[in-house]
Amino acid sequence: MRSLTAARVRVPCSTSNFGSGYDTIGLALDRYLDAAFIPDDSGDLSVERSGTLARLAADEPDLVARAFIRRLGRGTQRPSGTIRLSSDIPVARGLGTSAAARIAGFALADAAGGSPEDKDSIFAVAVSGEGHPDNVAPCLFGGLQAVASTPDGPVSMALNLSEDVGLAYAAPEVGVSTDEARRILPEKVPHGVAAASLGRVIALTRGLAEADPRLIRIGVEDELHLPHRLPLIPGAAAAISAGMDAGAWAVTVSGAGSGLIGLCPPDDAEAVAAAMHEVFDGGSGDPECVGFAVRPDFLGLRRV
């Protein structure tokens, strides 16, 4: 087996869907998963987790380690060392944590093995296993990304995002699993619903590029997934109303939930996040209930 060296990578989280952009649009944000590999002579691979990952059970399978081993190659000797993980990304709150974890594992293996950084290669292997290219693309490439399905697999493309679009995030103390959020969706939708969604996503992309509140409001309207997912999030309707009252142009579910993402003037992002958080928290002070302003990350995956 090839000799491995110490390595470290950083991967941003991502919000996706933005209402009508279901499974097609995602944006990298400035909350991060940091992953480091420290080789040793123990003959085993251990994982240390801190930050938001500390809440995971010690015996819960680690997605970073799995991706790390997979990327190094099947049939090879198990790598010897420690993977140290630190994250400030809320888990199971609609910020693409599983996509970030797999990307971190693949990229860490490349860096530790002395391979040059190859984001396109990681994209191909990540979407084949992750199945959420709308999270994978922004985590890897940064910024606002759209993905399209082709016979040869998903392709990604960068979209314009105005610097005059602010972002506010909040989530209740309970998470929503992606599997659960997908299981409740109908297998078929009426033709009219599908057609209306196409028009809305065009409005969404232009609204984000031009910071146009009217187009953004049109774009976040959705009939494909939001009516089914909002009931899974306790207090979502009240939190959305609070965010709008605080100055948001629109508020919608981040990814599969349970987090919400508000689109607003940049100067109002803190107030919008605080208003949504206040509703979710209800005075409980639960640390699992969060709210904060976020900014786009335009770098995506990087070695540090």
Task: Yes or no: say if 104 and 117 are a contact pair by the CB < 8 Å rule.
Answer: no
Q: Does any domain span residue 147?
A: yes
pLDDT tens sequence for the chain (304 residues): 568 999 999 999 999 999 999 999 999 999 999 999 999 999 899 999 999 999 887 767 789 999 999 999 854 567 899 999 999 999 989 999 999 999 999 999 999 999 999 999 999 999 986 678 999 999 999 999 999 999 988 999 999 999 999 999 999 988 777 777 788 888 888 888 888 889 999 999 999 999 999 999 999 999 888 888 898 899 999 999 999 999 999 999 999 889 999 999 999 999 999 999 999 998 787 888 999 999 999 999 999 9
Range(s) of the domain holding residue 213: 166-294
Q: Does any domain span residue 145?
A: yes
Instruction: Say what the pLDDT of residue 76 is.
Output: 59
Instruction: Say what the pLDDT of residue 75 is.
Output: 47
Q: Does any domain span residue 135?
A: yes
Interatomic CA distance for residues 100 and 294, integer angstroms: 17
Instruction: Say what the pLDDT of residue 288 is.
Output: 84
154 and 276 in a common domain = no
The CATH number for 128's domain is: 3.30.230.10
Instruction: Please give the backbone phi and psi of residue 172, each rounded to the nearest 5 degrees, phi first.
Output: -75, 180
Interatomic CA distance for residues 155 and 124, integer angstroms: 9
C-alpha gyration radius of the chain: 19
Q: Tally the domains of the chain.
A: 2
80 and 186 in a common domain = no
Q: Does any domain span residue 289?
A: yes
Instruction: Say what the pLDDT of residue 188 is.
Output: 87
Instruction: Say what the pLDDT of residue 1 is.
Output: 53
Instruction: Say what the pLDDT of residue 175 is.
Output: 78
259 and 125 in a common domain = no
147 and 13 in a common domain = yes
Residue with tokens 């400030």: 88
286 and 170 in a common domain = yes
Q: Does any domain span residue 1?
A: no
Q: Does any domain span residue 229?
A: yes
209 and 78 in a common domain = no
Interatomic CA distance for residues 101 and 273, integer angstroms: 25
213 and 148 in a common domain = no
Distances (CA, A) of 6 to 169, 203, 272: 34, 46, 41
139 and 13 in a common domain = yes
- Residues whose CB falls within 8 Å of the CB of residue 261, separated by 6 or more in sequence, listed in order: 15, 18, 94, 167, 168, 169, 251, 252, 253, 254
The CATH number for 200's domain is: 3.30.70.890
Q: Does any domain span residue 2?
A: no
264 and 142 in a common domain = no
207 and 152 in a common domain = no
217 and 140 in a common domain = no
Q: Does any domain span residue 121?
A: yes
145 and 114 in a common domain = yes
